Amino acid sequence: MGKKENIMTSEPARRRESRFDAAELRGLGFPDELIEPARYLAGRGAYDVAPPHQLIEDTLNACLRELESGSISVPVPALQPQVMWRALRDSAAELARLGRVPATYADGLFYLSCNLRAPLVMVENHNLVTPAFWGARQFQDIRRACGVINRTARSFERPVSRRVVVLKPDLRAYTTEEICQIAVLARNASSDVYWISPEIAGEFAARDAVVVGDMRVLSISEKPASAYEAEEMLLSSTMDDPVQALAIRTRIEALAERAVPVKTEGLLSGEFHELLAGSDPAGPSKAIQQVLRTPHAV
């Protein structure tokens, strides 16, 4: 925040027993829009350490001085937290209505409110989950859930989700219908989309995964026979472990850096616009072949 203030103090931080009581907070007049994020943060141990009182006072004074000076630009949501949390609450309710897997994505909304990183990072593996499944109700609901989260992220000027697609190793392994579906998914994606060959996908050459915020992981490591079975695999694999979630998130983000960007910031990248949205019916096949033949630095 601009010029750093000296807010060091010799007073030590103190461990304390954290206690979260939503009813008590409501009784004090706090709105649900602030109580729900507090519940989320309490579950992650955010209130287990009491900072020194002098540190709190010095930090608040330093921030107030910078705000009054007009030397920093603060996003509107940061100045109007109730606006943000009300929108997050409504988006979370929308996810719950979309189904069981979308409901597990809700923590991604709280994550985007506190972080300038993608709320969801995903590996979509065509060697496990066929693109044809994305026409099924379960996967349509997942796609809509990503749209809800990404719409919310954009409304608060936050990054959207990132999806890394691990292609099949040979273009001939795709049916004509699958190739058309891949092109449609890329054109209509609300997330940033990257494609990569399985040869350089490392551990994700045989894994399909979703990391929600920095807390939850859902994954598939065997071929499902149907969209319904894929949904059950995702739900049964759900793991709430911040350490593992952060580690897997970091590896997926690194994978995206090695992959070919197909759609970013809402637009198809470079020549992919012509290949995937142009008039050439062979364009999608050429796009896939191009990525499979593209050399990558590991």
CA pair distance 225, 227, nearest whole angstrom: 7
Cα torsion angle, 28, 32, 35, 39, sign: positive
Question: For position 5, what pLDDT does the model report?
Answer: 45
The torsion region of residue 157 among left (phi > 0), alpha (psi -120 to 50) and beta comes to left
Count of C-beta atoms within a 10 Å radius of residue 260: 22
pTM of the model: 0.75
* Segments of the chain with pLDDT less than 50: 1-10, 74-79, 297-298
CA pair distance 155, 6, nearest whole angstrom: 34
Query: Hey, what are 2's tokens?
Result: 């601009």
Q: What Cα–Cα distance (Å) separates residue 1 from each residue in 55, 111, 112, 212? A: 16, 21, 20, 28
CA pair distance 150, 159, nearest whole angstrom: 8
Question: For position 184, what pLDDT does the model report?
Answer: 94
End-to-end distance of the chain based on CA atoms, in angstroms?
36
CA pair distance 169, 259, nearest whole angstrom: 14
Greatest alpha-carbon span in the chain? 69
Q: Which DSSP string do the residues of 224-243 spell out, in sequence order? A: -SSHHHHHHHHHHH-EE-HH
